[in-house]
Amino acid sequence: MSVKVRFAPSPTGFLHIGSARTALFNWLFARHHKGEFILRIEDTDRVRSDEKFLKEIMGSLEWLGLNWDGQIEYQMRRLEIYREHAERLLESGKAKKVDGTKVVKTDEGEIGSAIVFPLPARKVSFDDILHGRIEVDTTQLGYDTVVLMKSDGTPTYNFACVVDDATMGITHVIRGDDHISNTPKQIVLYEALGYTPPQFAHIPLILGPDGGRLSKRHGATSIEEYRQRGFLGEALVNYLALLAWSPGNNQEIISLKEMIEKFDISDVNKTAATFDLQKLTWINHQYIKQTPVERLTQLMTQGGFLPAEGDCPRFLGTVPESGADREWLGQVVELLHDRLDTLADIRTVGGFFFAKEIEDDPAAVEQVLKEAKARSYFGDLAGRLETINNFEHDPIEQVMRDFCKEKNIKTKELFHPVRVAVTGRSVSPPLFQTMALLGKEEVVRSLKRWAA
């Protein structure tokens, strides 16, 4: 049997972490079985559906690398198909119209005018790939009628879902286990329409660190927010895959290609997964370290993680795309490469490279510069550094070490205060490379600023 799955978001909000993992598991399942992954937009909520959400959902899927097959399906373009199926059930006597003269208790609450489906009183059972055999007595659901078509002519979620999955040939429905309660009534509708239900796999929810359902109170929840915070798409995919699934052997860094090879939906855990931002950040750090400097630099410039226009005098008002400034930027990124947890860290870990005025860390100044004997040498050292024609690592190091020998001081007694003076902080990348990239003019100016 050829596998065909779907991801069916509603454009009433941004793509969030839970939905993205659902999309990923469907995508991996399809790619593992060399099947199809369909994107279906459930846009029948006319009030809340918005084009901006649709664009964000599609953009987030593309950023994550989850490409879909064929044309995107839109439910609002399929209204005639839903009407035809509702008419079929009306003609067979399995459905009926409610004219609004009385209130009917349904799965959608109390309604007036609609096309509804009276649920037969019976036990409905199905085999879930993860949960095994599930059996539900329809008399225990709390309602005995399912709404098919609302008074405004649009289908309900459960009816449209059944019609779409059946007519599109969906073989497996992989979705959150909060949908388990929908499955019995959907199965009854499949059978009433003469369709064979697909196989179901209900995956566990993602919980926040406090054990509650993941929400805004736990921080960012939409994929776009993580993109804006400087996470890499491939790192986020890696982390999402590990929420309720494992490739085995305690492996934590895994490529999409390897995921496809190893993914088996039956290996997904049944218990809820807990979202761990610290773990995601660690994985992102590993991916940044593996990313070539040129691509990393490009991601930073395109993603707006570098100084805004005009903030950095070296850029002359714009982020460089080529030339000497671009080469300098690449060298800065390479120097900071192993220190970045996210792309946004370029402005915190290496903020002194881009600032018009260095922001001094008060604690570093208090601890290192306030009473530092080295400050008495800063004026003389600045003069020595000004004489360097080729202001690069080796000449800078030579001048600094020669200066220590001449003044009979230990290198750490000079180097550490210099670091604080030129960067504003007590921790930085290797000092001589940092000074070279800051440039002679900036280094000399900083030393003279602090000279005693």
Give yes or no for residue 96 having a pLDDT over 70: yes
Q: Could you tell me what percent of the chain has a pLDDT over 90?
A: 79
Question: Where are the chain's structural domains?
Answer: 4-71+206-281, 78-203, 291-353, 362-450
pLDDT at 316: 45
Q: Are strands 199-203 and 172-176 parallel, antiparallel or unpaired?
A: parallel
Q: Tell me the per-residue pLDDT of 303-356, one tens digit each, with 9 for 90 and over.
A: 888 866 545 555 544 566 667 778 888 999 999 999 999 999 998 899 899 887
pLDDT at 75: 97
Per-residue pLDDT, averaged over 391-410, amounts to 96
Q: Tell me the per-residue pLDDT of 105-129, one tens digit each, with 9 for 90 and over.
A: 778 777 778 999 999 999 999 999 9
Q: Which residues of 11-47 are buried (b: 16+ CB within 10 A; e: fewer)?
A: bebbbbbbbbbbbbbbbbbbbbbebbbbbbbbbbeee
pLDDT at 322: 65
Query: Any idea which fold 4-71+206-281 has?
Result: Rossmann fold (3.40.50)
The single residue listed with the structure tokens 């040129």 is 294
DSSP H or E stretch at residue 164: helix 157-167
> Domain spanning 78-203 has what CATH number?
3.40.50.620
| Phi and psi torsions of 113, nearest 5° | -75, 125
Fold match, 78-203 / 362-450: no
- Beta partners for residue 75, in sequence order: none
User: What's the mean per-residue pLDDT of the chain?
Assistant: 92
- Beta partners for residue 38, in sequence order: 6
- Residue ranges of alpha helices (H) inside 263-410 are 277-290, 293-303, 323-336, 346-349, 362-364, 375-386, 393-407
> Out of 91-95, 168-172, 301-305, which region has the weakest mean confidence (pLDDT)?
301-305
The span from the CA of 148 to the CA of 48, in Å, is 20
Q: Tell me the per-residue pLDDT of 244-280, one tens digit each, with 9 for 90 and over.
A: 999 989 999 999 999 999 999 999 999 999 999 999 9
Residue 17 CA to chain centroid, in angstroms? 7
pTM beyond cutoff 0.85: yes
Q: Which CATH architecture has domain 362-450?
A: Orthogonal Bundle (1.10)
